């Protein structure tokens, strides 16, 4: 349960929309944006980043990297320069690093700090202060970091890195790219070899980018089918020129909106198509969504494409647990698609959903309930029974969770009665121009009081 919110909230509402049409680009990928800044900080020389996501979460990382010694400058919209300090060269920040709502920012930066001989305090908003940090702190303690935290390893907390970090072998106990990445980032400044074993593969941006920056990293599959990552510590990372592709997790809202609003046809350009991120597209295709992926190409080692979605008569499906890591941030918007799909959509293996910006399993279920969508949930599963129409009319509690807010605003574009969310402010953490892009497609997001958002 989140403590009370401290900012001025902004209730928002959507109502049945005319067709959504057009071609848009959504902002840069959040995972790659955070990592570009962090790896740029650990390289020697200037890393140039184009298409950086300029959302609150990522801007918090720019501030943190500055506080740790990097020279981070905005050169123009989406265009950034990072002059790094090199592996081992981080400075001690003078004030607490404030990560706001950003789980990826805070957890990966804890990894950076944990193998440098500096002390850093980490703080965040009410949502971040409720999220479990033990999953990254446990391996970082094994590497020699000291942690001063209140019970349960929640923020605010302080990490002090040792003079010399210990390289470890760590089997990631939960399917989490953040945990894997925190250990690898710490391993960068540990002499010797840090090994991470990943029983269930998760998004691989850290590995790909480490290789791009010149780290020595071997990746193989062991006899049990687990991914084994062996990183040689203390490399000299080389600065890179990075173009951040559009975020598939942001594109997801526009794609599902096109599928559920009658008469719609929307194309989202230049979307990252990394196989660890495309679970939603696969699922929607199984639900008979009219989706085509065009102009598929490879740029800078990344697969990109334009995703076109047309209004579709969706049908229910079962989403297997193994698919969860490749669409972990997309379940709230999938639940909205499922509300319009004929029959039952079963989503399995959702345990990680309970420790996101909110308990998303509970928040999605509550949002469906107030809008008259029949569904059932268990400890780690959700089953939604959809149909051609959705009643709507409810106000959804967002618990400082951007994806809950955006998902239910999309529901309102196709439901019989308007759908409100209690607070749209958190949308700026990942997708500041969300409302503008919906407007560009012909939809409308209003302040619940009636004023146009």
Region of residue 197 (phi > 0: left; psi between -120 and 50: alpha; otherwise: beta): beta
DSSP output for 266-322? EEEEEEE--TTS-HHHHHHHHTT-EEEEEEEEEETTEEEEEEEEE----B--EE-GG
Give the nearer residue to ligand S3P in terms of CB position, either 181 or 189: 181
Treating both helix axes as pointing N-terminal to C-terminal, what angle do 402-412 and 248-260 enclose, rounded to 10 degrees?
20
Measured from each CB, the residue nearest to ligand S3P is 31
Binding residues with ligand S3P: total (CB under 6 A): 10
- Cβ neighbours of residue 61 under 8 Å, at least 6 residues apart? 33, 34, 37, 38, 99, 102, 105, 109
The distance of closest approach from Cβ of residue 356 to ligand S3P in the complex, given in angstroms and rounded to an integer, is: 6
Catalytic, 329? Answer: yes
Look at the block and give the residue holding tokens 């107030």.
370
The distance of closest approach from Cβ of residue 48 to ligand S3P in the complex, given in angstroms and rounded to an integer, is: 21
**Residue from 14, 17, 31, 283 that binds ligand S3P (CB under 6 A)?**
31
Structure tokens of 280?
């939603």
Which neighbouring-strand residues pair with 13? 420, 446
Give the nearer residue to ligand S3P in terms of CB position, either 176 or 246: 176
d(CA 36, CA 52): 8
d(CA 235, CA 166): 15
- Taking CB under 6 A as the binding criterion, the range among 111-119, 170-178, 209-217, 220-228 that sits at the site for ligand S3P is 170-178
Give the nearer residue to ligand S3P in terms of CB position, either 177 or 441: 177
- 3-class DSSP assignment, residue 370: helix
- Among residues 329, 422, 423, 433, the one annotated as catalytic is 329
Residues in 175-234 that interact with ligand S3P by CB under 6 A: 176-178, 181, 203
Residues in 322-351 that interact with ligand S3P by CB under 6 A: 328-329
Task: For residue 407, state whether it binds ligand S3P (rule: CB under 6 A).
Answer: no
The distance of closest approach from Cβ of residue 1 to ligand S3P in the complex, given in angstroms and rounded to an integer, is: 19
The distance of closest approach from Cβ of residue 426 to ligand S3P in the complex, given in angstroms and rounded to an integer, is: 13
**Residue from 247, 306, 330, 352 that binds ligand S3P (CB under 6 A)?**
352
Give the nearer residue to ligand S3P in terms of CB position, either 178 or 371: 178
Residue 71: Cβ within 10 Å count: 14
Give the nearer residue to ligand S3P in terms of CB position, either 176 or 278: 176
**Residue from 36, 104, 283, 312 that binds ligand S3P (CB under 6 A)?**
104
- Taking CB under 6 A as the binding criterion, the range among 172-180, 239-247, 283-291, 383-391 that sits at the site for ligand S3P is 172-180
The distance of closest approach from Cβ of residue 395 to ligand S3P in the complex, given in angstroms and rounded to an integer, is: 25
The distance of closest approach from Cβ of residue 244 to ligand S3P in the complex, given in angstroms and rounded to an integer, is: 13
d(CA 285, CA 279): 10
Give the nearer residue to ligand S3P in terms of CB position, either 207 or 329: 329
Q: Are 355 and 383 in contact (CB under 8 A)?
A: no
Residue 212: Cβ within 10 Å count: 16
- Torsion sign over Cα 314, 348, 372, 436: negative
User: What are the residues binding ligand S3P (CB under 6 A)?
Assistant: 31, 104, 176-178, 181, 203, 328-329, 352
User: Annotated active-site positions, please?
Assistant: 329
């Amino acid at each position: 349960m989140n403590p009370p919110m401290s900012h001025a909230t902004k209730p928002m509402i959507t109502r049945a929309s005319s067709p959504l049409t057009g071609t848009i680009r959504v902002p840069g990928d959040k995972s790659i944006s955070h990592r570009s800044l962090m790896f740029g900080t650990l390289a020697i020389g200037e890393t140039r980043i184009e298409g950086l996501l300029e959302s609150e979460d990522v801007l918090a990382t720019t501030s943190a990297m500055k506080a740790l010694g990097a020279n981070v400058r905005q050169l123009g919209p989406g265009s950034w320069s990072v002059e790094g300090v090199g592996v081992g060269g981080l400075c001690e920040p003078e004030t607490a690093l404030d990560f706001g709502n950003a789980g990826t920012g805070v957890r990966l930066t804890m990894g950076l700090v944990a193998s440098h001989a500096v002390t850093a305090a980490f703080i965040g908003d009410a949502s971040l202060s409720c999220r479990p940090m033990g999953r990254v702190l446990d391996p970082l303690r094994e590497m020699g970091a000291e942690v001063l935290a209140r019970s349960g390893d929640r923020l605010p907390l302080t990490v002090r890195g040792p003079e010399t970090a210990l390289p470890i072998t760590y089997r990631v106990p939960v399917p989490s790219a953040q945990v894997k990445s925190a250990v690898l980032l710490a391993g960068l400044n540990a002499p010797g070899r840090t090994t991470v074993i990943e029983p269930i593969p998760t998004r691989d941006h850290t590995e790909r980018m480490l290789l791009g920056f010149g780290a020595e990293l071997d990746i193989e599959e062991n006899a049990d089918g687990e991914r084994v990552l062996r990183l040689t510590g203390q490399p000299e990372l080389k600065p890179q020129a990075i173009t951040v592709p559009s975020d598939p997790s942001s594109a997801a809202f526009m794609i599902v909106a096109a599928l559920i609003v009658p008469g719609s046809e929307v194309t989202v350009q230049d979307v990252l198509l990394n196989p660890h991120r495309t679970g939603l597209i696969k699922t929607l295709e199984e639900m008979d969504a009219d989706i085509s992926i065009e102009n598929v190409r490879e740029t800078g080692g990344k697969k990109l494409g334009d995703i076109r979605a047309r209004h579709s008569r969706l049908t229910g499906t079962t989403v297997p647990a193994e698919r969860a890591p490749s669409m972990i941030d997309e379940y709230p918007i999938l639940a909205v698609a499922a509300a319009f799909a004929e029959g039952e959509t079963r989503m399995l293996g959702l345990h990680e959903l309970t420790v996101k910006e909110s308990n998303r399993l509970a928040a999605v279920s509550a949002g469906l309930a107030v809008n008259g969508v029949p569904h059932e949930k268990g400890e780690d599963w959700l089953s939604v029974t959809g149909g051609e129409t959705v009643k709507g009319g409810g106000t959804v509690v967002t618990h400082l969770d951007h994806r809950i807010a955006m998902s239910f605003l999309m529901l309102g574009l196709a439901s019989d009665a308007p759908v409100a969310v209690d607070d749209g402010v958190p949308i700026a953490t990942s997708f500041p121009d969300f409302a503008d892009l919906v407007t560009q497609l012909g939809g409308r997001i209003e302040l619940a009081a009636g004023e146009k958002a």
